[in-house]
Structure 1
Amino acid sequence: MATDAEAAEFLLDRGADRVEHPGGTLLSHSRRVHAMLGAWGARPDLRFAGLCHAFYGTDGFGTALGDPGRRGELAEVVGTEAERLVYMYASCDRRRSYPHLASPDGPFTDRFTGTVLCPPRADRRDFAELTVANELDVLTASAELRAAHGDALGELFTTWRPLLSTSAGRAVQDFRA
């Protein structure tokens, strides 16, 4: 498995420093998400997932650095567990999955395949933590996006509170204050 610097270099090689994103570039955003997860005490695989979360694009950010049909390329760099979390994050059909994430049997729809899954609680926790870190960074970087989506995301993340670490839950509370 690569170091944080090697994983960031991999993203750099894929052009993450040339992709515009709220708060600068995709690379700078990804580094902030990685750092936020680290500050919250996330384990290494989740921090790597935070660094690479948009590698395959997302339901809310269409630019992809890699092909979800070639998942082994990212797995070689960050390991299979971190890549699995990146794929889960990227594959999420937000409209169908977000409202049910905190439900133990809630459906999670893969936007690439259309498959409906029921992820275990540990995966739901990781997904929620990563999503909160990502969105809080975006909303902090863009007053326009915060005005448009901040209240709705704050309410949603409050429903996810049972899935969040104490630190992430506190960050959501602080954001809503």
Structure 2
Amino acid sequence: MTLLRALGAGEIEHPGGSLLEHVRRVGELLGDWDARPALRLAGLCHALYGTDGFPSALLPLARRPQLAAAIGAEAEALVYFYASCDRKVSYPALLDDPPLFRDRFSGRVLHPGPQRLRDFAELTAANELDIARVSPEFRRQRGGELRALLTRLRPLLSEAAWAECRAVLF
């Protein structure tokens, strides 16, 4: 949290308060779902490089080693993977055989393994569900699209994550 504060996450507006409050809630939600520590840390830092849906990067990619030193290499790799998702290309193809994932930073097309896909799906669900919980406007505008996405990702989600999907979106 110290790094997030130092980078200004508390000063950036986000549904439900600041970006700092949002990432804290995402990390807590992943904890509620019994996610392993690296995934919880990735939840806290998931927006540092910006995302396809939140372009404000607080940390340039050149400083990836700094984040890895702060949260560990595994958690940082999850943050990068999440932030690098080209949603338009990747979301429809995550369950293909083989799964397809396009890195929006490098343009590379990847075929992530099962654990990486599960982590990505859990982090995606936690991020989007937090916003849906705190913003009725977001639920009205994007609820149908989000229900469709998370229903498609259902095979990758834990039972706890899926229960939260149902509670918030259905």
Q: Normalised by the size of structure 2, how large is the TM-score? A: 0.97
Structure 1 segments, 4+ long, off by >4 Å, are none
Measure, in 1, the Cα distance between the counterparts of 2:96 and 2:122: 15
Q: Within the alignment, does 1:154 sit opposite 2:147 as a pair?
A: yes
Measure, in 2, the Cα distance between the counterparts of 1:159 and 1:47: 23
**Cα RMSD (Å) of the superposition?**
0.9
1:102 Cα deviation after fit: 2.4
Greater mean alpha carbon deviation, residues 93-102 or residues 34-43: 93-102
Query: Which of 72, 75, 82 in structure 1 is aligned with 2:75?
Result: 82
Query: Which of 6, 10, 16 in structure 1 is aligned with 2:3?
Result: 10
Mark the CA change 1:124 to 1:104 in structure 2 (over 3 Å): closer, same or farther.
farther
Greater mean alpha carbon deviation, residues 136-145 or residues 45-54: 136-145
Where 1:36 maps in the other structure, the secondary structure is helix
Measure, in 1, the Cα distance between the counterparts of 2:82 and 2:125: 12
Q: Within the alignment, does 1:19 sit opposite 2:12 as a pair?
A: yes
Residue of structure 2 in register with 1:35 after alignment: 28
Query: Which of 101, 125, 129 in structure 2 is aligned with 1:132?
Result: 125
Within 5 Å, give how 1:23-102 maps onto structure 2: 23-102=16-95
Residue of structure 1 in register with 2:110 after alignment: 117
| Amino acid of the structure 2 residue aligned with 1:146 | R
Instruction: Point out where structure 1 has 5 or more consecutive residues left out of the alignment.
Output: 1-7
Residues 101 and 111 of structure 2 are in contact (CA less than 8 Å); yes or no, is this contact kept in structure 1? yes
1:176 Cα deviation after fit: 2.9
Greater mean alpha carbon deviation, residues 140-149 or residues 47-56: 140-149
1:104 Cα deviation after fit: 4.2
Residues 33 and 133 of structure 1 are in contact (CA less than 8 Å); yes or no, is this contact kept in structure 2? yes
For these two proteins, the number of residue pairs brought into alignment is: 170
Mark the CA change 1:104 to 1:39 in structure 2 (over 3 Å): closer, same or farther.
farther
Residues 161 and 169 of structure 1 are in contact (CA less than 8 Å); yes or no, is this contact kept in structure 2? yes
1:174 Cα deviation after fit: 1.8
Measure, in 2, the Cα distance between the counterparts of 1:156 and 1:87: 21
Residues 52 and 86 of structure 1 are in contact (CA less than 8 Å); yes or no, is this contact kept in structure 2? yes
1:139 Cα deviation after fit: 1.3
Residue of structure 2 in register with 1:3 after alignment: none
1:71 Cα deviation after fit: 0.8
Measure, in 1, the Cα distance between the counterparts of 2:38 and 2:105: 23
| Amino acid of the structure 2 residue aligned with 1:136 | L
Q: Normalised by the size of structure 1, how large is the TM-score? A: 0.93
Identity of aligned residues (%): 53
